[in-house]
Amino acid sequence: MTDHLSIRPRRLRQSAPMRALVRETTLRPSALVLPAFVREGIREPQPISSMPGVVQHTLDSLVDEGRRAIEAGIGGLMLFGVPTTKDATGSGAIDPDGILNVATARLRDEFGDDLLVMTDLCLDEFTDHGHCGVLDDRGRVDNDATLEVYSQMAVAQAEAGAHLVGPSGMMDGQVGVIRRALDRAGFTDVTILAYTAKYASAFYGPFREAVNSSLTGDRRTYQQDPANLREALRELELDVAEGADIVMVKPGMPYLDVLTRVAEASPVPVAAYQVSGEYAMIQAAAERGWIDRERAILESLTGFVRAGADVVLTYAAIEAARWITEPRQVAR
pLDDT tens for 170-182 read: 999 999 999 999 9
- For the segment 182-189, the average pLDDT, to the nearest whole number, is 98
Each residue of 223-246: pLDDT tens digit? Answer: 999 999 999 999 999 999 999 999
Q: What is the pLDDT of residue 237?
A: 98
Q: What is the pLDDT of residue 329?
A: 59
Q: Which residues of 65-101 are buried (b: 16+ CB within 10 A; e: fewer)?
A: bbeebeebebbbbbbbbbbeebeebbbbbbbeebbbb
Give the pLDDT band (50/70/90) at residue 283. very high
Q: What is the pLDDT of residue 217?
A: 73
Residue 169 has pLDDT above 50, yes or no: yes
Residue 210 has pLDDT above 90, yes or no: no
- For the segment 155-161, the average pLDDT, to the nearest whole number, is 98
Each residue of 261-281: pLDDT tens digit? Answer: 999 999 999 999 999 999 999
The residue extents of the domains of the chain are 25-198+205-325
Q: What is the pLDDT of residue 326?
A: 86
- For the segment 5-25, the average pLDDT, to the nearest whole number, is 93
For residue 286, what are the CA distances in angstroms to 47, 243, 290, 297? 18, 41, 6, 10
Is residue 250 flagged as an active site residue?
yes
Residue 23 has pLDDT above 80, yes or no: yes
Each residue of 81-134: pLDDT tens digit? Answer: 999 999 999 999 999 999 999 999 999 999 999 999 999 999 999 998 988 899
Is residue 198 flagged as an active site residue?
yes
Q: Which of 39, 57, 198, 261 is catalytic?
A: 198
Each residue of 136-149: pLDDT tens digit? Answer: 999 899 999 999 99
Give me the torsion for CA of 320, 325, 331, 332, rounded to 10°.
130
Instruction: Determine the Cα–Cα distance for residues 62 and 65; give it in Å rounded to an integer.
Output: 5
Q: What is the pLDDT of residue 332?
A: 44
H-only helix segments in 226-326: 230-242, 256-265, 276-287, 293-307, 317-325
Q: Which residues of 105-141 are buried (b: 16+ CB within 10 A; e: fewer)?
A: bbbbebbeeebbbbbbbbbbbbbebbbbbbbeeeeeb
- For the segment 6-20, the average pLDDT, to the nearest whole number, is 92
Fold of 25-198+205-325: TIM Barrel (3.20.20)
Q: What is the pLDDT of residue 212?
A: 76
| Mean pLDDT computed over every residue of the chain | 94
Q: Which residues contact 126 (CB under 8 A, 6 or more apart)?
A: 81, 83, 86, 87, 90, 91, 92, 93, 98
Q: Say what the pTM is.
A: 0.94
Give the pLDDT band (50/70/90) at residue 4. confident
Each residue of 26-76: pLDDT tens digit? Answer: 999 999 999 999 999 999 999 999 999 999 999 999 999 999 999 999 999
Q: What is the pLDDT of residue 331?
A: 47
Give me the torsion for CA of 255, 318, 54, 276, rounded to 10°.
0
Q: Which of 204, 250, 259, 308 is catalytic?
A: 250
Q: What is the pLDDT of residue 3?
A: 64
Q: What is the pLDDT of residue 211?
A: 84
Q: What is the pLDDT of residue 9?
A: 94
Instruction: Determine the Cα–Cα distance for residues 119 and 157; give it in Å rounded to an integer.
Output: 7
Closest CA to 176 of 270, 246, 243, 245: 243
Give the pLDDT band (50/70/90) at residue 13. very high
CA 31 from chain centre, in angstroms, equals 12
